[in-house]
Amino acid sequence: MHHFKTVEEKALEWGVSPQHIQALCRKGKIRGAVKRAGVWFIPDDTPNPTQNTKSGVQYDEFIGTKKRVFESAIKLFVSNGFEGVSLKDIADDVGIRQSAIYNHFKTKQEMLDTIYDYYRHYFILNRSTLEDIEPVLRSGTILDIIKCVRYSFSEENEPKLFDITKIIFQRNSMDERAQEIFVSLIMDDGITYVQTVFNRAIEIGRLAPFDTHAIAIFINSISLYTLYNWIVNPSPEKMKKVLEDEQTQYKCATKFLTDLGRK
């Protein structure tokens, strides 16, 4: 699970001004940075954005052949598994010589590291901030508040992020980094995010005070249930049942929170 530092602490560590870091956070240039109650927090292990990432590339600037290679790797890793794909397979899919790949990625492992970097960055970046959902917290229904923490990818990044989620689930038992992303980001940070939203609802008087951790675990598990079933069997028939189950669980959470407010 991540430990977070303030902007001021990271500024001292990186030798830059807090104002510069805040600007980078607003632009989505610092991986894993999250805003809580108007204050930015940065994971302790986040690398200096002025230095190379673990994968050695800046994925948010991919264009041309590099972008096509990156997206081909994601597609083929999903369909054939990481071990079942060669650099030649990727080159053939893109329509370039295998030697041309080395202009962009040195190894297949570097591709996978970059895919993980991309996911961690955009998973956080796509999520609504407290400022975004403040109007819902103040004037929405209880069900609206519950649904506003349901994770959804932006339209621009949705196809790649869903596919990378599949890769993470596939490799969860054999790849330490995939396991770390699943546990720390999808599970632990997801629970923390939901709990933060409900704590804010309590703070502004929309909900009666209560221990928000349990409900955060429950609501985050609803998202995990939907996501897992979509990956295992995304058929229309199966997903119709899953989404019906999701709505039933939302109703249970709504009833719990509504009854709590009556006590």
Model confidence over 159-187: pLDDT tens digits? 888 899 999 999 998 999 999 889 888 88
User: How many percent of the chain have pLDDT more than 70?
Assistant: 90
Domain membership of residue 30 as a residue range: 1-51
Q: 82 and 177 share a domain?
A: no
**What CATH number is given to the structural domain containing 74?**
1.10.10.60
How many degrees, rounded to 5, is the angle at CA 43 between CA 183 and CA 13?
A: 150
Model confidence over 53-110: pLDDT tens digits? 444 445 555 778 999 999 999 999 999 999 999 999 999 999 999 999 999 899 999 9
The answer to whether residue 198 is domain-embedded is: yes
Q: 42 and 63 share a domain?
A: no
**Rounded Cα gap, residues 168 and 2, in angstroms:** 18
DSSP 141: -
State the pLDDT at residue 49: 65
Q: 106 and 199 share a domain?
A: no
- Domain termination site, one of 31, 51, 71: 51
Q: 166 and 229 share a domain?
A: yes
**Rounded Cα gap, residues 50 and 119, in angstroms:** 20
Contacts of 249 (CB under 8 A, 6+ apart): 218, 222, 225
The answer to whether residue 121 is domain-embedded is: no
Model confidence over 184-207: pLDDT tens digits? 888 888 888 898 899 999 999 999
DSSP 149: T
The answer to whether residue 252 is domain-embedded is: yes
Q: 148 and 226 share a domain?
A: yes
Q: 169 and 259 share a domain?
A: yes
The better pLDDT of the pair 230, 245 is held by 245
Average pLDDT, the chain: 84
Q: Rounded mean pLDDT of 208-236?
A: 87
Q: 134 and 240 share a domain?
A: yes
DSSP 51: S
The answer to whether residue 119 is domain-embedded is: no
The answer to whether residue 67 is domain-embedded is: yes
**Total structural domains in the chain?**
3
Model confidence over 2-24: pLDDT tens digits? 588 888 888 777 766 676 677 77
**Rounded Cα gap, residues 251 and 71, in angstroms:** 38
**10 Å Cβ neighbour count for 98?**
14
**Whole-prediction pTM:** 0.72
SS3 67: helix
The answer to whether residue 65 is domain-embedded is: yes
